[in-house]
Amino acid sequence: MNAEPLLIVRDLHTTFATDAGIARAVDGVSFTVARGETVGLVGESGCGKSVTALSLLRLIDGAGRIEAGSEIILEGRNLIALSEREMREVRGNRVAMIWQEPLSALNPVMTVGDQIGEVARVHAGASRREARAKAVEMLRLVGISAPEQRATEYPHQLSGGMRQRVVIAMALVMNPALLIADEPTTALDVTIQAQIIELLREVQQRMGMSVLLITHDLGVVAETASRVIVMYAGEVVEESPVREIFAAAHHPYTEGLLRAMPRVGATGGRLAVIPGSVPAPTNWPSGCRFRDRCPYAWERCEREHPPLYQIGAGHLSRCHLAVEPERRTHPHVPLAAATGAGAGR
């Protein structure tokens, strides 16, 4: 094992020019992923986690751009500095992506075999026949029976779970160093979700790649990841070993996410929600971006943007509670709930 992390993201800023102004979707995100490690990237819709994923592949275009000064260092190379041609060598080869909605991520007029084989054609210069053989091999690897037959079928002929297996097969063709899975189970039935998570885990163990698992589901993270990064409003707000986040989450946003998890056996009462919604990325609030939704917020949170405080071994939290822990004993109604904004209780 190499001591150097496989992936180092440093001060990533991804912005989009919109009619309402510059949207700072990812606003100074830094994290690392070690070789062979599975890291969970958690947050609600609009927090910037998917934009982070696309930024890693440099697939931000149109109105969006990765700001100068951002660094994405994979296997010692800064991807930001690569030419487009060099970047294409990375995509699908060293870094591969698993998509949220397999049906829309697959080309409807191309057989799944051709789509899997295309990766080998692009990166390994495989012939038509070699590509087909590779596709069959990959389909078998991801647990699809009668792979020769399935390879000739179109996405609409497969079930949701099988489609996601096809998407995973596509991602694994070149044995990438990093697999980015963007909400890989969100679009699937609950029973299939567990199978796909299990498959990802088996694949990860067998092939030894690193996985960046993007999800809003902390349950999935608990099952698969060793570390978790929580994003809110374009920033990392908490980073911690996975066990610690369930035992001792520090950031009030993470606490809220944990409380909002449905639990088997819990009876009575409504599921907790975090009042309000993520602020607009064109206009992040000054100070702490979570303060309107936070039950502990005090005047310091308005005045001072919290840094990532070190609160334990490998545990960081972007909350002033780290230095004024006594504030935690006096929760109040968050501003967003008091003013009735968003989904209050």
Please identify, among the stretches 1-9, 13-21, 157-165, 301-309, the one whose residues bind other proteins according to the rule CB under 8 A: 157-165
User: Which one of the spans 29-37, 197-205, 222-230, 251-259 is the region binding other proteins (CB under 8 A)?
Assistant: 197-205
Q: How many residues bind other proteins (CB under 8 A)?
A: 55
Cα gap 104→119, rounded to integer Å: 18
The span from the CA of 13 to the CA of 271, in Å, is 34
Minimum distance from residue 152 beta carbon to other proteins (Å): 5
* 29 touches other proteins (CB under 8 A): no
Nearer to other proteins, 123 or 300 (CB): 123
89 binds other proteins (CB under 8 A): yes
CA gap 113, 121 in Å, rounded: 12
Residue 158 binds other proteins, judged by CB under 8 A: yes
Distance between CA atoms of residues 206 and 76, nearest Å:
24
Angle between helix axes 128-141 and 160-172 (nearest 10 degrees) is: 120
Residues 91-130 contacting other proteins, CB under 8 A:
91-93, 96-97, 99, 101, 104-111, 118-119, 122-123
| Amino acid identity, position 90 | V
CA angle 95, 8, 248 (to 5 degrees): 105
Q: Is residue 132 close enough to count as binding other proteins by CB under 8 A?
A: no
Cβ nearer to other proteins, comparing 44 with 137:
137
Q: Give the strand pairing for 210-215 and 178-182.
A: parallel
Kindly state whether residue 83 participates in binding other proteins, applying the rule CB under 8 A.
no
| Number of Cβ within a 10 Å radius of residue 235 | 24
* Bridge partners (DSSP) listed for residue 91: 95
Return the range that interacts with other proteins (CB under 8 A); candidates 146-154, 222-230, 262-270, 281-289.
146-154
**Residues of this chain that bind other proteins (CB under 8 A):** 54, 57, 59, 62, 88-93, 96-97, 99, 101, 104-111, 118-119, 122-123, 137, 140-146, 149, 152-154, 156-159, 161-162, 165, 167, 170, 192, 195, 198-199, 202-203, 206-207
